[in-house]
Amino acid sequence: MELHLFVNGKEVTTSVPENRRALDFLRKDLGLKSVKEGCGEGECGACTILLDGKAVCSCLLFASDLAGRRVLTLESLGKEGHLHPIQQAFAETGAVQCGFCTPGMILSVKSLLDENPSPDDEAIKKALEGNLCRCTGYVKIIEAVKRAVAIIKSQGLMI
């Protein structure tokens, strides 16, 4: 089928098989390797993308579900030497160990902070409950979100 959508700010027009998972379309067809597959069942959150600003599991969607919508993957955030405040906070806080959950985790945080720039602990946990991490025990991840909030506020940034 014909597919027209916006990926990381760019217009994409392509054709995909109807049963192509959004995850495979992004990873394999568009080469956006930050989108990870951890379980294929929408349980682990490694494949999180932002769809019109909301964090969703791309393994549970078909490519066709993306038609006409805005998709953001981690590739769109920072660049080497110019990290996005959430990326900077994750790096500096020690919220990254093996890094496999990190892309999805950061996108879930972005979705949260776009909606709620000053989340409390409960809001942070709620926003990240769908992102599993097996390395950090989540302690530093919660700290990183708070640090990201502080960086964003101190720089007067809009994210």
Partner 1 sequence: MEKNPLTLIGTQLVRSDASEKVLGAAKYVDDLHFSDTVYLAIRTAEVASGALRSIDISKARGSHGVLAVLTHADIPGENQMGSPVPDYPILLKPGDEIRYVGDYVAFVVAHTREQALRAAEKVTVMVAEKKPVLSLNERIRELQKGGDYVPAVHQKIRKGDSDPKTMFDSCDYVFEGDFFADYQEHAYLETQGMIALYDQDNVMTIYGSMQCPYYVQNGVARALGFPINRIRIIQSVTGGAFGGKEEVPTYFAIPAALAAYHLHRPVKLVLSREEDIQWTSKRHPIKSRYKVGIADYGRLRSIQVEAHADIGGHSTLSPTVLWRSSVHAAGAYEIPNVRVDVYGHYTNKVPSGAYRGFGSPQVFIGIEGIIDDVADHLKKDRLYLRKINALEKGKTTPTGHLLPESVGAKKTLEEVERLSDWERLKERVAQFNREHKHLKRGVGIAHIHYGVALGAMGHALDASGAFVNVLPDGSISVHIGGTEMGQGAKTVIGAIVGEVLQQPMEKIHVYQTDTFFLPDSGPTVASRTTVFSGNAAVLACQELLKTLTALYSTEMAVPPQSVRYTGGVFSNTEGQKPVGFGELAGIALKKNIGLCATGWFQTPRLTWDPENGFGEAYVTYSFASQIVVVEVDCLTAEVVVKEVYTAHDVGKALNPDGVIGQIHGGFVQGMGYALYENLKVNEKGKIVSDNFNTLTIPTIHETPEIFKVSIVEEPFSKGPFGAKGIGEPSLIPTPAAIANAVSDAIGKRVREIPIRKEYLLDLIRTAP
CA-only gyration radius of the chain, Å: 15
Find the binder of partner 1 among 102, 149, 151, 152 (CB under 8 A).
Answer: 102
Q: State the Cα–Cα distance between residues 119 and 90, nearest whole angstrom.
A: 16
Task: List Cα–Cα distances, 121 to 141, 145, 146, in angstroms.
Answer: 11, 9, 9
Q: State the Cα–Cα distance between residues 5 and 63, nearest whole angstrom.
A: 10
Please state, as a whole number, how many other Cβ atoms lie within 10 Å of the Cβ of residue 18: 9
> Tokens 């393994």, residue?
59
**Is the CB of 44 or the CB of 61 nearer to partner 1?**
44
Fill in the per-residue mask, 51 to 90: x = in contact with partner 1 (CB under 8 A), - = not in contact.
----------------------xxx-xxxx--x---xx-x
The interface with partner 1 within residues 125-154 (CB under 8 A) comprises: 125, 128-129, 131-142
Closest distance between partner 1 and the C-beta of residue 101, in Å?
Answer: 5
Q: State the Cα–Cα distance between residues 105 and 51, nearest whole angstrom.
A: 15
Find the binder of partner 1 among 16, 30, 44, 49 (CB under 8 A).
Answer: 44
Binding site for partner 1 (CB under 8 A): 33-41, 43-44, 46, 73-75, 77-80, 83, 87-88, 90-92, 94, 96-103, 106, 121, 124-125, 128-129, 131-142
